[in-house]
Amino acid sequence: MGVLDGKVAIVTGSARGIGRATADLLASQGAGVLINDLDADVAAETAAEIAKAHGGDTAVFGGDLTAEGVPEALVAKAVDSFGKIDILVNNAGYTLDKPIHLMTDDWFQRMLDIHTVVPFRTIRAAAPYFRDPAKQEREQGVEVFRKIVNISSVSGTMGNAGQANYSAAKSAVVGLTKTLAKEWGQFKVNVNAVAFGHIETRLTAAKTDDNTMTIGGETVQLGIPEAMVGATSFLIPLGRPGTPEEAAGGVFFLCSPWSNYVSGQVLNVTGGQWIGMMS
């Protein structure tokens, strides 16, 4: 038996990295999980692997979440597949790094779109499946907790040179989280955020020719300068970056029954990294 038996989770951006580790952990604890990625084939492969590993139910949704109507279609797919939603993890994202004086309007807006607008639209689309059952449960005098976890970053809470767009978007996620926690607390929805530090993913690996992704036919360079990869460990008291599995542990806590009285919070999963000015 798992602590999430009978629960249904949407995890955006869950075919790789932290999203995949999160989906895998939720599935291992009994949740049915919707796997999402820009690449539907990769999402399907991941879903099959997770289902085989844990014997649970998975569904697949591929598509560009920044496109009109796609967040709504994502939610509809989860409901069509499982009949309900108990957990929503807004994880999908990528980075486009440049100093402010070289950054274009397009690059700034694209980070706002994927990291802030997409979670907003997904939450709005999911609203009936969080609010309406809670109204009935309230009339019956029972408490059933549902969970929303928004993925932020220490770039959003402390800022980061070269990431004005990403930092602004991830900071906005914190405001979205705290506001929604106040609005939906009455419906027993725990709304929290996780601010990650340096976790070993494609976004924090060294910039190389093969560390790229394709979005709308455009090749996007991922990663950070190689000199920074080695230097980050000196800023982390635990002495190394975190793994996706360790990152997923923080998300899992906020999806679990142990977080039923935790809401409107930002959980820092950083290995103790506290360098910079806090918001």
In a domain? residue 274:
no
In a domain? residue 86:
yes
* Domain membership of residue 95 as a residue range: 8-269
Give the pLDDT band (50/70/90) at residue 144. Answer: very high
Mean pLDDT, residues 20-34: 98
Is 166 an annotated catalytic residue? yes
Sign of CA dihedral 201, 206, 210, 214: positive
In a domain? residue 1:
no
In a domain? residue 277:
no
Q: How many domains does the chain have?
A: 1
Tell me if 149 sits within 8 A of 88, measured CB to CB. yes
Measured distance CA(112)–CA(169) in Å, rounded: 5
In a domain? residue 52:
yes
Q: Is residue 206 over pLDDT 50?
A: no
Tell me if 37 sits within 8 A of 23, measured CB to CB. no
The pair of structure tokens assigned to 202 is 């494609």
In a domain? residue 276:
no
The string of pLDDT tens digits covering residues 113-135 is 999 999 999 999 999 999 999 99
* Residue 49: predicted pLDDT: 98
Provide the 10 A C-beta neighbour count for residue 20: 25
Nearest Cα to Cα of residue 7 among 129, 90, 93: 129
The pair of structure tokens assigned to 40 is 């539907």
* Residue 276: predicted pLDDT: 58
DSSP-derived pairing of the beta strands 212-215 and 218-221: antiparallel
Least confident of 35-39, 198-202, 224-228: 224-228
Domain CATH code at residue 82: 3.40.50.720
* Residue 273: predicted pLDDT: 84
In a domain? residue 279:
no
Mean pLDDT, residues 208-234: 60
Q: Please state the length of the chain.
A: 279
Active-site residue identified among 94, 129, 166, 261: 166
Measured distance CA(24)–CA(3) in Å, rounded: 14
The string of pLDDT tens digits covering residues 63-97 is 999 999 999 999 999 999 999 999 999 999 999 99
Work out the angle at residue 198's Cα, subtended by the Cα atoms of residues 192 and 202, and round it to the nearest 5 degrees: 100
Q: Is residue 205 over pLDDT 50?
A: no
In a domain? residue 168:
yes
Q: Is residue 222 over pLDDT 90?
A: no
